[in-house]
Amino acid sequence: MAKRVKLADIAREAGVSVTAASFYINGKAEQYKLSKATCERLEAAVRKYDFVPNLFARAMQQNRTFLVGLLVRDRINSSFWSDIIAGIEDGLSASGCHLVLASTHTDPEQELEALRQMRAKGVDGYVISPVLDDEGKIPNLEHLWKLNENRPVVGLNLVLDGIASVYNDDAAGGALAARFLWENGHRNVALLGNPFGFGQPRFRAFEEFYGAHGLVPQRFFDPGEVLAAAGSFTAVFCLHDLLAAALCSNATAAGMRIPEAFSVIGYDGLAWLKLLEPAPSTVYQHKYDLGQAVAAQLLLAFETGRCESVRFEPILVPGGTVGPAAATL
C-alpha cells in the first residue's frame, strides 16, 4: 500500500518550509506574500504527488470543516432547486467549501433531524429553505434562531424573521400575477395549489389583491377539479409551473383550448417552458444568481461575522396562456 503523502513531503519537494506549504494549500499565499516562484514549485509538487489535504487535520487547525449545510423543504429533483444549488456551489467553489445537502419533504420533524445531522458533521454554516405550515408560518423558527447564535444561517428564498435571507419577493410575485390577470379583464379567478401552497406569500398576496376589490378566488387542489368547474372562472393562477403545465395538458386532452377556455399563469419561470406551445405565462423567480448571492452572504459571514438580506424582484413573463377575459366568456 502506497505511503500517504503528507504536507511535509510537499514542502520538501518544493524546497520550502512546512509553514509556507500550509499557507499555499490553504489559499493564503497572497496574504502571506509567497513569491510567484514559490507558488509554482508548490503547485508542481502538489500535482506530482496528487496531494489532497487531510480535511480532519485542516478542520482541527482552523476550527472549520469547510462544509455548508443546505436544507431544502421540497424535493430537489426540479430545475428550480438545481439551478439555485448550482449558483451556491459555484459561488462557494473558490473558498474550498462544499455542500452537505438534505431535503425535508415539508416535514418539520425531518427538518430538525437533518439539522441535527448537520451539526454532528460540524458544518460551518447553514442555508435553509424552511418548512412552512398551512398558514405560512415556520414551525422551527426558534430552533433556527438558536443555530444562528453559533453558526451563520442564511434563509433561502424566504424571509426569516431575525435571520439574514436571500429571496425572491414572493408576495410581489403573487401581486404581479393578480395585476396581470386583472388588467386582462379577469374578475372570476381561481387558484390551483396544495394546502402548503395556500399559505405561501404569492397566494396570500393574490387573494389580498382580489379581496381589495370584493372578490374571492376559488381554490382547487387538483387539475381535474379545475376542469370539472370550468365555466365558473376565466383564469387560474397555479402554485408553480409544473402545475400550470399539467393543467394545460389535461385541458388539451379534454378538448379545451388554452387560453380560449380559460387563462392559465404559473410561477417560477423554469427553463423548459419555452419548449411548450403555447409557452405558459409565468412569474420568473431568480435562481442561479440568487444562489450566488446566498454564497456571497455566507462567505461574508465567515469573514466578518455578519451578513445581510438580499431581495430579488420577480419578473412577469406574459407567455401565450393568458388572454383577455372576453375570449373566455
48-57, 92-101, 199-208: least confidently modelled range: 48-57
How confident is residue 58, by pLDDT bands cut at 50, 70 and 90?
low
pTM of the model: 0.79
pLDDT digits (tens, 9 = 90+) for 271-302: 888 888 888 999 999 999 999 999 999 999 99
Fill in the amino acid letter for 58: R
Rounded distance, CA 153 to CA 157, Å?
13
pLDDT digits (tens, 9 = 90+) for 148-157: 999 999 999 9
- Report which DSSP code applies to 140: T
Residues 6+ apart with CB under 8 A from 287: 80, 83, 84, 87
* Cell numbers representing residue 98 in the block: 462544499
| Mean pLDDT confidence for 156-170 | 95
Alpha-helical regions (H) of 212-329: 223-228, 241-253, 288-304
| Mean pLDDT confidence for 246-252 | 95
How confident is residue 329, by pLDDT bands cut at 50, 70 and 90?
very low
In order of their start, the domains of the chain are: 7-61 (1.10.260.40), 66-166+287-311 (3.40.50.2300), 170-285+317-328 (3.40.50.2300)
Question: What pLDDT does 266 receive?
Answer: 97
| Residue 133: strand, helix, or coil | coil
- Beta-strand pair 263-265/165-168: unpaired
The percent of residues above 70 in pLDDT, for the chain, comes to 94
| Mean pLDDT confidence for 234-241 | 96
Is the pLDDT confidence value at 50 over 80? Answer: yes
Question: What pLDDT does 328 receive?
Answer: 43
Q: What is the DSSP string of 158-223?
A: S-BTTB-EEEE-HHHHHHHHHHHHHHTT--SEEEE--TTGGGSHHHHHHHHHHHTTT---EEESSH
Q: Which helix (H) or strand (E) holds 47?
A: helix 36-49
Question: What pLDDT does 296 receive?
Answer: 96
Burial 290-303 (b: 16+ CB within 10 A, else e): bbbbbbbbbbbbbe
| Mean pLDDT confidence for 59-71 | 77
How far is C-alpha 273 from the chain's CA centre? 19
Q: 261, 276, 199: which is closest to 227 by C-alpha?
A: 261
Is the pLDDT confidence value at 146 over 80? Answer: yes
pLDDT digits (tens, 9 = 90+) for 174-226: 999 999 999 999 999 999 998 878 888 999 999 999 999 999 999 999 999 99
Question: What pLDDT does 61 receive?
Answer: 57
Is the pLDDT confidence value at 140 over 70? Answer: yes
Is the pLDDT confidence value at 87 over 60? Answer: yes
State the chain's mean pLDDT as an integer: 90
Question: What pLDDT does 106 receive?
Answer: 85
